[in-house]
Chain A
Amino acid sequence: MSNFFEKSDLSRSEAENIISDTLQKCDDGELYLENSKSESILLDDNKIKNSSYNSDLGFGFRAISDEVVAYSHSNEISKNSLKQSSENLKSTLKSVKGTYNHEIPKSNKKYYENINPIEQKSLNEKIKILNEVNNYLRSKDDNIKQVTANFLGEQKSVEIIRSGGETLTDVRPLIRFNVSVMLEKNGRKETGVYGVGGRQSYDSYLKDDNWKSVCDEALRIASVNLESKPAPAGEMKVVLGPGWPAILIHEAVGHGLEGDFNRKKTSAFHNLMGQKVASEGVTIVDDGTIDNRRGSLTIDDEGTPTEKTVLIENGILKNFMQDRLNARLMKTKSTGSGRRENYRHIVLPRMRNTMMLSGNQTQDEMIKAVDKGIFAVSFGGGQVDITSGKFVFNCTEAYEIVNGKIGSPIKGATLIGDGPSILKEVSMVGNDMMMDPGIGTCGKAGQGVPVGVAQPSILINKMTVGGTKL
């Protein structure tokens, strides 16, 4: 755990006094302190291209009065700096007359260990694995023209000090290991990317030469794409594979169910609470409590313990995801979804691990039910316009389905749909729910946070596929 006041002219008790003084008559607010250490070791083009280390320290001071948020952040943890921030907050919130909400739920549960993954594996060991990855892949296929592999590791310590001195802390490890392969054959180039990660040591994911399976998967995707034909254009049936394709859920409904957009009534879902928004059999949860997952958090960035929030139950919209501000204004409770990229940013309600739960059909049944459509297995990224509800995601591995059988692979294409109606088009839910491999980052208002997704195979009756073949 970091001692944020150790090398500062500001003592903890002085900080507590400034916090309590500033937040008097505010409805909420806190001082958020953060110390993060991260590394990136990159192999590219047969060489170790980059070995870098970052250490980031700073605070963000927030005061909330009714709907108004005042925020100030700085890298200098000093008496001067905190006082200046306090003045900034006070000058924004000129006449406050609220009552500070001291209530914050408590929990002893922890969803990851207090470790520093960067120090659990030496630089030489990491470099050795990256070189082995390069040699392994290049010896496997003569068409390989480029291999990129990298280690990303981080340990983030946060401390939240509330008015009155209540203090909440968390230490969050996070790692990611990625491999990207480019193949070239007959003048055509295609790439395949795969990765693994979560809130444990590198070795938990890579021991026993497990890195080879990451390499194999990246190479497999690239090889499939090398044989791909132009994708079709137009509306058709779509079968999504289990796991990572759940970014459909993340984009199509996840963002639209975040509390801020619904309080402001700018989400296409804001007036649909308690209504049917999905086919029967569709249940979607957002869960921050799964051990060691990328999107899991012991406490959120306001200090609220995370939970498993049911968003849609058997087709009916049940809950939005809330931080403290939006929960208070919508007269409900925080769901432990208040997150920020780091101390430079304000808290927003965000997703953690967003999952559609298993039904009881098989992927085979779905494929057989499609005369003409596509089977999408892997994805790049997605995006949503939460107001119109339209969302997209980009396939990186997909196949055509002809008369109930999987056909040729097709080129990467964007799929577009309408969030509030797409889940009503889900006609089969598989029994094969799977988590993604732990590589997702969600962007909102310029802030990236690590998230997870999961789903079983699903059949969607109608979606627009953005290919070039008419």
Chain B
Amino acid sequence: MVKDQEFLEKKASYCLGLAKKLGATESSVIVNNSVSETVNFRNKKLDESNRSDDLGISITTYIGKKKSSISSSNLLDDNLNILIEKCVETTKNTPEDEFNSLPDKDLLAKEVKDLDLYDDTHIENDQKIDYLKKLESAASNDKKIVNTESSFTQNKSNFILANSEGFCAGYKTSSFTASSVTVAKDEKSMERDYEYSSKCFLKDLDDAGELGKQAADQTIRKLSPKKIGSEKIAIIFDKRIAKGMLSTFASAISSSAISRGTSFLKDKVNQKIFSDKINVLDKPDIVKGLGSRNFDSEGVKTDTLKLVDQGILKHYLIDTYNGKKLNLKSNGRCGGTSNLYFENGNISFKDLLNSKSKSLYITETIGHGSNIVTGDYSVGATGFLVENGEFKYPINEITIAGNFKDMFKNITLANDLEFKYSTNSPTMMIEGMVVAGK
């Protein structure tokens, strides 16, 4: 079982005490334990079982404005003694940085709300196997499906964050994740696709049969793809790809990218960066939310932020160090966003498909083609040609390219937002991008 609060707190206070004794003026520590159990199936048979029990500790020590950190998976006191001594020694030898410090005391979280992030249910491997059998049987119904791989993971985690200012809090979280990857084949082609469900509570997980069928359907419809010519065309991003635009947006407004000057959104607060109708929220207190949390990785309380209001950028994502550098207060975003999402647009998915006589519907992108310094975007893509609201045929071996500065201003959102991941978007259309194909 996952280690209890008492064990983690004891380790944390031991470290803080030792750091102080060895000469640290301030220090902070995170102790975490995570226990995962996974069962994998392949072609309706057990393929792999995997149990992991991970312990971790990371300690940051300060001497005045000097700072250094260590981390380890070995929590034996002997080892911690050696490491903390090394950490304090390294701190002494590291140059000062005027912005180094623990968070301001009045910004630290005062209470830990119960956001319903932990389900005590334990699912035995045999039950996971039952779920996967049902899933794979649904996934392999069609003869075109030639390979199925699926997986079920139960994860239970616990952590404590403590610092020398007296902050000490943590809580348990759980997740139950099922996924299915299927391969379909016809005379001309072989294609792969997937479906996935992850929830804090076991009872909220998608139905196994539905999940398997979904994965298979999404794979079969990709068979015998064509390559199209190069042109400028409206692009509709499936929800699972659309959320990636938000992830890029989040990296570009992180206080570290802003303070270093390496973001295309630097100095854009209170300026219009999206079209009028676009609102972006980061809401940490969603009950059972996959990205929910009470405080950030420095202990600073996290409130809901409306990052973009009617197209206008309102906030950066600020941590203590970069906040001090930018002369801004931390808004509890050390470690990034919580539940980040675009608010729904006001047209249905169907109307969005129908809004152009011809468009491209993208279901998968490959490559690391987002440059947050310049805003340039260029990735490989797979999807479908849409004509008059109908999916005509699958498409692959194309790229799509543009620049986020223009793309953000040309976004239209459907009204089909779901909270499936920690970052979520409704289906999205962007006009004015370039497709490269034949």
Bound CA–CA A56/B70 (angstroms) = 11
Most chain B beta-carbon neighbours within 10 Å: one of A51, A81, A385: A51
Cα–Cα distance between A239 and B370 once the two chains are bound (Å): 24
Interface residue B371 (Cβ < 8 Å from any Cβ of A)? yes
Does B68 lie at the interface of the complex (its beta carbon under 8 Å from any beta carbon of A)? yes
**B191 interfacial contact with A, CB 8 Å:** yes
Q: Quick check: is B400 within 8 A (CB to CB) of the other chain?
A: yes
Chain A interface secondary structure, helix, strand, loop or mixed? strand
For residue B72, which residue of chain A has the nearest CB?
A: A55
The answer to whether B72 touches A190 (Cβ under 8 A) is no
Q: Does A250 contact B (CB under 8 A)?
A: no
Do B434 and A70 touch across chains, with their CB atoms under 8 A apart?
Answer: no
| A52 and B373 contact, CB distance less than 8 A | no
Residue interface bits B230-270, CB-to-A below 8 A is 1, else 0: 11100000000000000000000000000111101000000
The segment from A290-298, A304-312, A389-397 that touches chain B is: A389-397
Given contacts A44-B260, A51-B90, A234-B437, contact A390 B46 (CB under 8 A): no
- Is B178 in the interface zone, CB < 8 Å from A? no
Q: Is the CB of A75 within 8 A of B192?
A: no
Q: Which residue of B lies closest to A184 (CB)?
A: B261
Give the shortest distance, in Å, between A387 (CB) and chain B (any CB).
4
**Does B350 sit within 8 A of A, measured CB to CB?**
no
Which of B73, B78, B190, B192 meets A7, CB within 8 Å? B78
B382 close to A (CB within 8 Å) = yes
Query: B residues within 8 A CB of A72?
Result: 50-52
Whether A57 contacts B70 by the Cβ 8 Å rule is: no
A265 proximal to B (CB < 8 A)? yes
Q: How far is the CB of B371 from chain A (nearest CB, A)?
A: 6
A301 within 8 A of B: no
Instruction: Report if A85-B367 is in contact (Cβ < 8 Å); known contacts: A68-B46, A182-B261, A467-B378.
Output: no
B376 at the interface (CB under 8 A from A): yes
B397 x A416 contact (CB < 8 A): yes
Could you tell me the distance between the alpha carbons of A81 and B264 in the complex, rounded to whole angstroms? 50
Q: How large is the interface on A (under 10, 10 to 19, 20 to 34, 35 or more residues)?
A: 35 or more
Q: How far is the CB of A340 from chain B (nearest CB, A)?
A: 12
Chain B neighbourhood of A467, CB < 8 A: 378, 401, 434, 436
- Indicate whether A264 sits within 8 Å of B260 (C-beta atoms), given known contacts A52-B69, A72-B52, A73-B51: no
Are A52 and B68 in contact, with the CB atoms below 8 A? yes
B48 within 8 A of A: yes
- A387 & B367 in contact (Cβ 8 Å cutoff): no
Q: Which residues of B contact A264 (CB under 8 A)?
A: 42, 147, 149
B136 to chain A: closest CB distance in Å?
14
Chain B residues with CB under 8 Å of A55's CB are 70-74, 79, 83
Bits for A185-208, please: 1 = Cβ < 8 Å to B, else 0: 000111100000000000000000
Q: Which residues of A are found within 8 Å of B230, using beta-carbon distances?
A: 233-234, 470
Per a CB cutoff under 8 Å, which of B75, B90, B146, B379 touches A392?
A: B379
Q: Is A388 an interface residue, CB under 8 A from the partner?
A: yes
Q: Which of A18-26, A135-143, A330-338, A375-383 contacts B (4 or more CB under 8 A)?
A: A375-383
Q: Does A276 contact B (CB under 8 A)?
A: no
Q: Which residues between 351 and 375 of chain B lie within 8 Å of chain A, taking CB atoms? A: 364, 366-369, 371, 373-374
Question: A92, B46: Cβ atoms under 8 Å?
Answer: yes
Which one of B93-101, B115-123, B162-170, B420-428 is at the interface? B93-101
Chain B residues closer than 8 Å to A385, beta-carbon distance: 192, 364, 366, 382
Q: How far is the CB of A55 from chain B (nearest CB, A)?
A: 5
Distance in angstroms from B308 CB to nearest chain A CB is 23
* Given A7-B78, A383-B368, A468-B401, CB of A75 within 8 Å of CB of B55: yes
Is A51 a contact partner of B94 (Cβ separation < 8 A)? yes
Tell me, yes or no, whether A346 is within 8 Å of chain B by CB. Answer: yes
* Alpha-carbon distance between A76 and B3 when the two chains are bound, in angstroms: 13
B43's nearest neighbour on chain A, judged by CB, is A264
Contact mask for chain A residues 79-92; partner B; CB cutoff 8 A; 1 contact, 0 none:
00100010010011
Residues of A near B368 (CB, < 8 A) are: 380-381, 383, 394
With an 8 A cutoff between CB atoms, is B10 at the interface?
A: no
Which of A212-220, A407-415, A453-461 binds B?
Answer: A407-415
CA A68 to CA B76, docked complex, whole Å: 34
Q: Residues 217-231 of chain B: 1 if any A CB is under 8 Å from the residue's CB, otherwise 0?
A: 000000001000111
Instruction: Please give, as numbers and ranges, the residues of chain A lying within 8 Å of B369 by CB-CB distance.
Output: 392, 394, 412, 414, 466
Residues on the B chain within 8 Å of A238, using CB? none
Which of A203-260 touch B at CB < 8 Å?
231, 233-235
Mask, B182-195, CB within 8 Å of A = 1, is 01000001111000
Report how far A22 CA is from B311 CA in the complex, Å.
61
Q: Which of B73, B190, B380 contacts A383 (CB 8 A)?
A: B380
B97 & A392 in contact (Cβ 8 Å cutoff): no
**A45 contacts the other chain (Cβ, under 8 Å)?**
yes
User: Are B90's CB and A123's CB within 8 A?
Assistant: yes
> How far is the CB of B432 from the nearest CB of chain A, in Å?
10
Given A182-B373, A466-B399, A71:B147 Cβ within 8 A: no
Q: Contact check, A56 vs B72: say whether CB atoms are below 8 A apart.
A: yes
Q: For the complex, what is the distance from the CA of A67 to the CA of B94, rounded to whole Å?
A: 51
B436 adjacent to A54 (CB under 8 Å)? no
A168 within 8 A of B: no
The CA-CA distance from A201 to B147 in the complex, in Å, is: 46
A444 within 8 A of B: no
> Which residues of B have CB within 8 Å of A49?
97
- B53 close to chain A: CB less than 8 A: yes
A418: interface (CB < 8 Å)? yes
**CA of A259 to CA of B106, assembled, Å:** 56
How far in angstroms is the closest Cβ of chain A from B196?
A: 14
Chain A residue nearest to B434 in the complex (CB): A468
Add 8 more A-B contacts to A88-B49, A466-B399 (CB < 8 A). Answer: A52-B69, A75-B54, A92-B125, A189-B374, A264-B147, A385-B382, A412-B369, A464-B397
4 closest A-B pairs (Cβ-Cβ)? A466-B399, A233-B436, A392-B380, A392-B367
List 27 A-B residue pairs with CB atoms under 8 Å apart, sorted by A's residue number: A7-B76, A48-B94, A50-B69, A51-B69, A52-B69, A54-B72, A57-B72, A70-B48, A72-B51, A88-B51, A92-B49, A127-B94, A127-B95, A189-B261, A235-B438, A264-B147, A265-B146, A382-B367, A383-B366, A388-B190, A390-B396, A413-B378, A416-B380, A416-B399, A464-B399, A470-B230, A470-B231
